Structure 1
């Protein structure tokens, strides 16, 4: 076969390939172009994180919290996130739903046994503080059993959520991405602060 014949056959070969792919798509329902429906925020689902420690914990907490808030408001999580990012000043209903959603997320993770022990979070919390080295060393010397008996992760999270100034936090977001980023960052820092303060009380 000459070079010219090969060139002429390339479009035909490409057409056959495209037709084959389209045929497979149609055979598996690909002919329907209906948009995907948003996930039901009230449905129980697993939420995982690519990171560990406090960052991973708060990422899961925020996602489940937004689900819980959306469920209470009878909207999708996507619709709620968009509304919160564009609202400027959040409504009392939005604030109450978000706080309730976050608190509910703590209980869901506790029931699913996916909350880390408080002792697993000690080093990360201490690394972000300006405590002197002697206090840090004393806290790190505490046995895990003492820390876990005195501090329960769900209790630390609940107290943290109760103390969050969600109205101020939400007033400073201007898009959907910054909403989750600021929630993650605020909850993460609040958890570290709360955990560190309560660890100091154990000394």
Structure 2
């Protein structure tokens, strides 16, 4: 009998406990809950990369570039990446916004003085360039001052971005996370190719 009474009292006890928790939440402002708003892509944010060299540089460019594209389109960053991931045919406006966002990111890093000089990137670019041994050795022997006087990092980056086929790139996304991976990989390779081609003309 006592066991039955205890079993019958359990639901009442549970209701009382839940009611107590709700009362405490309401007393502490829990009744005015508002969902977190997406970050405003038009507000400049500090970005850091997990990598060094060209890969780290392009990682920062992509984060800032997608923010810039979302700001130009008047949407949140998450909304833009979701739209791009779900669409097989990005609009002209999306392509243009992404291109302009990436170029604006280059300009911002240049103004902040955080772009590395070309001489810091050339050797990495040559590591996977298809050059004969003598030419590669000659390029690697160039003084940093010669490379930095002849090339500008912002110019190399903008040329690399201009050469990208963003429409084809965006048409092959698998999911939202794939956007950054695809852009970073494509820009990294484009920068390496551009650096290798332009520094070759110095020899």
Which TM-score band applies after superposition, normalised by the shorter structure?
0.7 to 0.9
Deviation at 1:44, TM superposition (A): 1.3
Per-residue CA distance 1:46-90 (angstroms, 9 max, x = gap): 111011100000000011000110000001111111111111110
Q: Are residue 94 (structure 1) and residue 94 (structure 2) matched?
A: yes
Counterparts of residues 13-162 of structure 1 (less than 5 Å):
33-162=33-162
C-alpha spacing 1:75/1:119, structure 2 compared with 1 (3 Å):
same
Residues 6-17 of structure 1 aligned to structure 2 (within 5 Å) = none
What is aligned with 2:168?
A: 168
User: Take 2:32 and 2:192, find their aligned partners in 1: how far apart are those partners?
Assistant: 48
Aligned mates of 1:38, 1:136 — CA distance in 2 = 48
Deviations 1:12-37 (A, max 9, x none): xxxxxxxxxxx9xx97x788643221
Q: 2:30 and 2:175 mapped to 1: Cα distance?
A: 33
The aligned residue for residue 14 of structure 2 is none
Give, in angstroms, the shift of residue 95 of structure 1. 0.3
- 1:185 is matched with 185
CA distance in 2, matches of 1:159, 1:97: 17
Higher alpha-carbon Rg: 2
State the shift of 1:45 in Å.
1.3
3-state SS of the aligned residue for 1:80?
helix
4+ residue runs of structure 1 moved beyond 2 angstroms?
Answer: 29-35
Return 5+ residue gaps in structure 1 as ranges: 1-22
Matched residue SS, 1:51? coil
TM-fit CA distance, 1:130:
2.2
SS at match of 2:114: coil
Shift of 1:202: 0.6
How many equivalent pairs are there?
Answer: 179
Q: CA deviation at 1:174?
A: 2.0
Alpha-carbon deviation of 1:193?
A: 0.2
Q: Deviation at 1:170?
A: 0.5
1:151-174 superposed Cα distances (whole Å, 9 cap, x missing partner): 000000011111110000101112
